[in-house]
Amino acid sequence: MNPSIVRTLGRLLGSLSPGLAATLARRLATRPLHRSNRPDPAGAEPVSFRFGLAGLRWGSHGPRILALHGWEGRAAQFRGLGERLASRGYQLIALDAPAHGRSPGTEADPVVFADALQEVAAELGHLHAVVGHSMGGASALYALSRGLDSERSVAIAAPAGLAGVLTRMSRALGLGEEARRRFFAKMESRTGLPPEALDIDRLASRLDQPLLVVHDHDDAVIPFEDALRITRATRAQLHETRGLGHRDVLRDDRVLDRIVGFLEARAV
């Protein structure tokens, strides 16, 4: 649907029934609309975990690296990175988040993503690194702040906080102030945390792993300013790109080589 039509309908519904508008926004924010059923890429080994989650593995031995996609993504998006790492003696285990790919569920949110990372990490044991794209990157940083055992991390096209994501979504839907306030309250009720609690400025003091931030200046989903905020708060390394947008950054050869170089800097 045309974005301007969506905003117009959102403003109308928000003025007539802020509670209903907030409920619909909460559903859009927590229920993926698309779940890929494409076949797994050649060379990737399907894996499953004791909590019912699914994923893909590249490489059969060596230091473990855990990866998590973003909203409406899937494990197969890490194919290029997985193949590179496997050829260098690493294992990349890419997780299908709850309600995504082959993993069960119909709803998810950043805290659920982080819980999934910690559940799988508890089964895998010590991680050389954790890599996340988009919401997966933000959830990885949150999981690390809660004690996820990983030597280093990579955040690709990640938001600097949940509040910013929800604010941008509220604007896109045309929600008025009352509907927006109720939407935030419903998200807090679901996640158990106020959106501001997932802001990088609040998490940074509990992050001590080396971090690489990768972000494209032309990302239309997560503003480049979010990468600058993460970098400033965590003193991370920043790899900037142009012309790749939000998803193609995962397939770019130079980006993948930069990530592999960062992950190899302290092999175990």
Q: Render pLDDT for 7-39 as a digit per residue (tens, 0 to 9).
A: 655 565 556 677 888 999 999 999 998 777 777
67 in a structural domain = yes
**214 and 149 part of one domain:** yes
Residues 181 and 215 in one domain: no
Give 166's pLDDT tier (boundaries 50, 70, 90).
very high
pLDDT exceeds 60 at position 267? no
Q: Domain span at residue 16? A: 1-30+165-198
pLDDT digits (tens, 9 = 90+) for 169-221: 999 989 999 999 999 999 999 999 999 999 999 999 999 999 999 999 999 99
pLDDT band of residue 46 (cuts 50, 70, 90) is very high
**Overall number of domains in the chain:** 2
Task: Note whether 14 and 21 are within 8 A (CB).
Answer: yes
**226 vs 56, 162, 190, 203, CA distance in Å?**
29, 11, 24, 14
* Co-location of 8 and 123 in the same domain: no
What is the arithmetic mean of pLDDT over 103-123?
96
Residues 6+ apart with CB under 8 A from 58: 43, 44, 45, 78, 79, 82, 83, 85, 86, 91, 92, 94
76 and 130 both lie in a single domain: yes
Q: What distances in angstroms separate CA 78 from CA 92, 176, 186, one per listed residue?
A: 9, 38, 32
pLDDT, tens digit, for every residue of 55-92? 999 998 999 999 999 999 999 999 999 999 999 999 99
Judgement on whether residues 73 and 127 belong to the same structural domain of the protein: yes
pLDDT tens, position by position, 235-255: 999 999 999 999 999 999 999
Q: Is residue 179 part of a domain?
A: yes
Q: What is the CATH number of the domain that holds 80?
A: 3.40.50.1820
Query: Does one domain contain both 25 and 145?
Result: no
Q: Are residues 226 and 266 located together in one domain of the fold? A: yes
